[in-house]
Every structure is written in C-alpha cells, then in structure tokens.
Amino acid sequence: MTMEHSTDSRGAVVLDGRQGEGGGQIFRSALTLSLCTGKPVRIDHIRANRRKPGLMRQHLACARAAAGISQGTLRGDELGSTTLEFTPGPIVGGEFSFSVGSAGSSGLVLQTVYLPLLFADRPSKLRIEGGTHNAWAPSADFLLHSFLPQLELMGAEVSLRMDRAGFFPGGGGQISVEIQPLSSESSPYEMLSCGERKEVRAWTRSAYLDQHIPAREIAAIRRKFAPRDIPYEEFWHEESSGPGNTVQVAVVHDRVTQVFTGFASRGVPAKKVAHDVAVEAKRFLAAEVPIGEYLADQLLLPLALLAGGRFRTSKLSKHALTNIDVLHRFFPGIVRVQEESEAVDLVEVRLA
C-alpha cells in the first residue's frame, strides 16, 4: 500500500487519496505536514474509497483552518472537490474561530492545526464549532483523557475544554483550545508498558433521550467487567442542538488512559452499543499493550515532529499504516514497525 513518490511542476508533494484507507486521513495529515515543513501539497482523488467521494464540510473546515493559521492559499476548496492544492505561508499564532457548519468533527479540525501552532510565534486560542462526539473521529473525551496527556509527555502544552456537546446529526458543539508554543526540546517518548492499572470507569453523555437509556448502557458494561461496581457518571446536555448519546469506558493506568466510545444510532439497542464498547475495552486489556489502536494512530505525527520515540501497540490499523505512508512521503524511512507477535507491533519513530 506504499504511496508512489512524486511532485508536480511547482515542487508540491503529490498524494493519491485512493491509496491506503482512502479516506480523510491522507488529506488531514498532508495538510499538517505541509504546514510544518513549508512544502506545498496536492491531494488527488480525495476520499475516493468513500460512498460519497470528495470534500465534505468537515474537510473544507480543515483546509480553511490550515490556510487561516498560515495565510496559505488553496485551490479546489469546494464541496465535492476531489483535488486540492495547498501552499502554506508562515505559521502565525493568535485567536481563531473555525466552524464546520455541520455535525462534522471539531476534533478533526483540531487534529489538522494543533501541531503547526506548537511552532507558532505566540500562543493560540481556538474556538471550533461542530460535532464533539462523532463516529470514526476522536471524541472530545478521548482527546482530553487519552491523547493530550501523551502529548504533554512530549513537551507540548495543549489544553481543551468542551463548551457544548454536539452529536450527530444536530452538531452545534464547541470546543475551546489553548496552545502554547514549544519552549524547549523534549526527551524521546517511550511507552513500552502502561504501568499499574488503577481503574476502569464509565460515563454516558446524552441529550433529549429517554432517561432509562444511560442506565441500560451502564448495566450492560457492568455485566462485562468484574468487579461490577465500576464507577460511572451520567451527563445530560441540554445545551445540545439535538438528541444524541454516547457511552464511554476508560481504562486507566499509571502512565496512559485509553478511552473507548460507543455511539448510539437509530435502531440499535442501547445495551448492544454499551456491550460492544465493553468488548473493545476488554480486548485491549487482554492484549497487554500500553497503546490502543486509535491512540497509536494519533501519536505518529507528533512523535515525528516533536520528540521521536517508540511504543508498543496492538496490530496497527489500516488507518495508521496509511498515516505512516503519508509521513514517509515527507520524511522517508522515519517510521519503523517491528512485529513482536501476531497481535503486537513495536513502533519506532525518529525525530524529523
């Protein structure tokens, strides 16, 4: 699945969006790496492997956020476009407001710009409107409890607050983020073991739904764990623009927390949503690795740009392997993956 190496007549890095997982990850990672390296980029066949190919609102929000923090230029930034060209300018910190304009993920917009803003000339404050809890995207809770603490170990100061919850399809959520420029070089990151397990806990977030739904979800999770009295909380979001529900399980260790999220959808019983999340969390525990599938994917770019290092994880997803291929287009050979067993990979990333 390795991407072909090519540049266009402008010297831009050219990526084929059909390769790898064929979704939005190629697009977002390319924008981030373009900003951090100053290299222009062109992405063809954007999201070609999706049911609706081309740019959707959340992808446009990512592209325009990238241009906004760098006074960069875009070509092809319109709904449905399958080719986008981006030429970055110098990254400038400050206060920014970005809106997805739909229930698309606010977290994915943040994913596009937080790394470049760590290299900005001054602190940044972001307000991003959109979904906060979306399937196939990092939830606000995942970012807060799983990802940002690992970023802090790399020397980055990024804080996040969820101002309003936003569920699909209503959206209307908002996160506020503060980013401090890097103040010093960080030590290499290493996460080969997760340390002592502290607890497993759960919580639900709901809006405009039957009061019994969270109770059924928590009961389903407790049936999968021992002891069954794992701590839990229910959060209700009257500020939400529409109905929605998520159930989340956190596996908390000394050095790392993994958050697993289930999203309610029409026609799927609440107990099945919760059961599936509990199964996912127990599968992670059985693997005895410190880094779960989704966190592994999120760590690749910051390791390359901030710290370098290595971590043990369950088998890398196609999503993560695609991310590695994009990284190799900008920094050949920067990531090395060693198979420890059929179920475990050791990932080493050198500092760019």
The residues assigned a catalytic role are: 319
CA 59/CA 47 separation, integer angstroms: 10
Q: Where are the beta strands (DSSP E) in 173-243?
A: 173-180, 189-191, 197-207, 232-236
Render 273-285 in DSSP notation, one character per residue.
HHHHHHHHHHHHH
Going by C-beta distance under 8 Å and a sequence separation of 6 or more, which residues neighbour residue 176? Answer: 125, 126, 127, 160, 161, 163
6, amino acid identity: S
What's phi and psi for 245, nearest 5 deg? Answer: -160, 135
CA 203/CA 36 separation, integer angstroms: 36
189, amino acid identity: Y
3-state SS, residue 133 = strand
Residue 27: its H or E element: helix 24-37
